[in-house]
DNA sequence: CGTTCCCTTGACACCGATCAACTCTGGTGG
DNA sequence: CCACCAGAGTTGATCGGTGTCAAGGGAACG
């Protein structure tokens, strides 16, 4: 793939993930002015460290990333998955953050200069509104995760995560019927759901045995979507515009 | 207190909670144009239901509120506390939400017309930036809660919650040294930390017996701040500008 | 063809949920 | 002023969902 192609594509991905807030040519040019370069990360590599505020923002254009916090004991909590078109570190527009972002798969990102993005927002209100909505959608996802962690059984939680990923990927056109590529290891699912890898494995096996999902090498098929949503009490509204 | 006073105050509270993003006279006038009226809620009353998008936004000017989700089983997960100067339902600028907001104490809110706020943002980019930062700060808090729920022991979690509330109230000038009014019941703490009221009680008693906090009728005193922060692995950076 | 991730399985321990009383406090009405 | 009551906090006994530890299996990959 040609570099020029990728460069042309990041904005389209960004815009697509905004579902609703349409941006015009002006806004496009304004934010494209913040573009620095594309960059690649290998699976497992750290994309954003919890370091000073100076660095650029990272918009994922290919692959999956995850935001996470690491505790002193060494355990890690994944707080969100970042799919193409989304920012790894929108929060850095505001404050210093203790969160980091790592690459789940090979990841390609567009680097945008932070101050330039800020400037673009100040000049183009629609951009601010778009990013605000993006941040609010992330919030909605975080709240749903909170509910899962606080009040749902692990089985329900994993079911919910699968429903969410399915829906988000569907909207991004990355789903074929009820199947999709899912690069997460069971350990990463555990890190996202506040479980151990061992127990994650048992729960998934149970879902498999019950004929609800098929789960294999980087791939998920939801065999009983209805049933899965029921287990998870999943309502896709929170992902909507 | 006179109504005119309250009406003049809501913007100041809002601005104060933005720590960093200073707004000018223009922005002030713009958003004040969205003002509808003040409204009061009694302890326990629902402020925002998960209902259609049409209603106004609620900015808390006095008292504490909480955002929460209710599951089919009837259990409730509080996802955030709303202190004076903050919105109950910023998310409604974007999408439909299944979250509700309830009054923890007697609450007074300023009602702002949603479309008018949107309009104000479109006309005044600084407003959008300010709200974006506000949303990002909320995000940071949510992520921290996720880490607590996913990876910390309950004792650590409660310690963390107390540290967070202390710090947020301190910035709002509602703390005297290491003491502050804390209207939450143990059951509400339980709903926020994903515990049962019974176990919450035991954990709090333990913290008391260890001489770390004093906890009584609507009031908390942190006797060993250093120790409490250590238990919680608390770093206030995520609340900062 | 060995190494390295991942996934899988079993035994056991424990944190925190559940259930069921009981106490204490402040408020309310007679 | 007292009796009652509802809400909040406290306590004890028991149970179960998950974590922990330890070991083995299987597929990709150099």
pLDDT tens digits, one per residue of B83-134: 999 999 999 887 778 899 999 999 999 999 999 999 999 999 999 999 999 9
Q: What does the pLDDT read at residue B54? A: 63
How far, in Å, CA of A107 to CA of A83, rounded?
10
Residues in chain B: 241
Distance A127 CA to C5 C1' (A): 43
Closest CA to A9 of A113, A63, A106, A84: A84
Report the percentage of chain A scoring pLDDT > 90. 82
Closest CB from A76, A139, A151 relative to B138: A139
Is the CB of residue A139 less than 8 Å away from at least one CB of chain B? yes
Distance from CA of A4 to the nearest CA of B (A): 31
Q: What does the pLDDT read at residue A1? A: 43
Distance A199 CA to D21 C1' (A): 13
pLDDT tens digits along A152-180 = 999 999 999 999 999 999 999 899 889 99
Contact across the interface for B238 and A97, Cβ inside 8 Å: yes
Tell which strand D nucleotides have any atom below 7 Å from a protein Cβ: 7-13, 17-22, 27-28
- H helix or E strand, kind and range, residue A67: strand A65-70
| Chain A (40-79) residues lying within 8 Å, Cβ to Cβ, of chain B | 67, 69, 71-72, 75-77, 79
**Closest-approach residue (CA) in chain A for B138:** A139
What Å distances lie between residue B145 and A48, A104, B81, B150, CA to CA?
Answer: 21, 23, 11, 8
Residue B26 has pLDDT above 70, yes or no: yes
Given pLDDT bands bounded at 50, 70 and 90, which one contains residue B235?
very high
Residue A198 has pLDDT above 70, yes or no: yes
Mean pLDDT check: name the lowest of A8-17, A70-79, A152-161: A8-17
Residues in chain A: 241
Q: What does the pLDDT read at residue B1? A: 43
Closest CB from B69, B123, B125 relative to A122: B125
What Å distances lie between residue A122 and A87, B32, B127, B129, B224, CA to CA?
Answer: 19, 20, 9, 7, 44
pLDDT: which is higher, A93 or B212 = B212
A31 vs B contacts (CB less than 8 Å) = none
CA A152 to chain CA centroid, Å, is 21
pLDDT tens digits along B50-83 = 766 568 999 999 999 999 999 998 999 999 999 9
Q: What does the pLDDT read at residue B6? A: 53
Distance from CA of B150 to the nearest CA of A (A): 4
Q: How many pairs of residues across A and B have Cβ atoms under 8 Å apart?
A: 169
B201 touches strand D (CB under 7 A): yes
pLDDT tens digits along B156-186 = 999 999 999 999 999 998 998 899 999 999 9
- H helix or E strand, kind and range, residue B58: strand B57-62
Distance from CA of B15 to the nearest CA of A (A): 15
Report the percentage of chain B scoring pLDDT > 90. 82
């Amino acid at each position: 793939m040609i570099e020029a192609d990728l460069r042309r594509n990041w904005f389209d991905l960004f815009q697509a993930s905004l579902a609703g807030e349409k941006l015009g040519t002006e806004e496009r040019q304004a934010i494209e002015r913040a573009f620095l370069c594309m960059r690649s990360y290998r699976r497992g590599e750290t994309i954003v460290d919890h370091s000073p505020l100076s660095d650029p923002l990272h918009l994922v254009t290919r692959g999956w990333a995850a935001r996470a916090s690491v505790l002193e004991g060494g355990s890690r909590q994944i707080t969100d998955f970042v799919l193409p078109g989304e920012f790894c570190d929108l929060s850095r527009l505001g404050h210093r953050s203790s969160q980091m972002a790592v690459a789940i798969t090979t990841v390609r990102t567009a680097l945008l200069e932070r101050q330039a993005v800020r400037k673009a927002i100040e000049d183009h209100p629609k951009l601010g509104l778009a990013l605000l909505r993006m941040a609010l959608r992330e919030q909605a996802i975080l709240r749903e995760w909170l509910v899962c962690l606080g009040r749902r059984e692990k089985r329900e939680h994993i079911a919910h995560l699968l429903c969410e990923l399915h829906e988000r990927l569907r909207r991004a056109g990355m789903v074929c019927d009820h199947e999709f590529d899912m690069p997460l290891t069971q350990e990463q699912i555990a890190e996202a759901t506040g479980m151990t890898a061992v127990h994650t494995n048992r729960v998934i096996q149970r879902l498999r045995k019950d004929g609800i999902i098929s789960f294999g090498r980087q791939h998920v098929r939801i065999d009983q979507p209805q049933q899965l949503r029921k287990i998870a009490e999943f309502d896709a509204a929170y992902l909507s515009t």
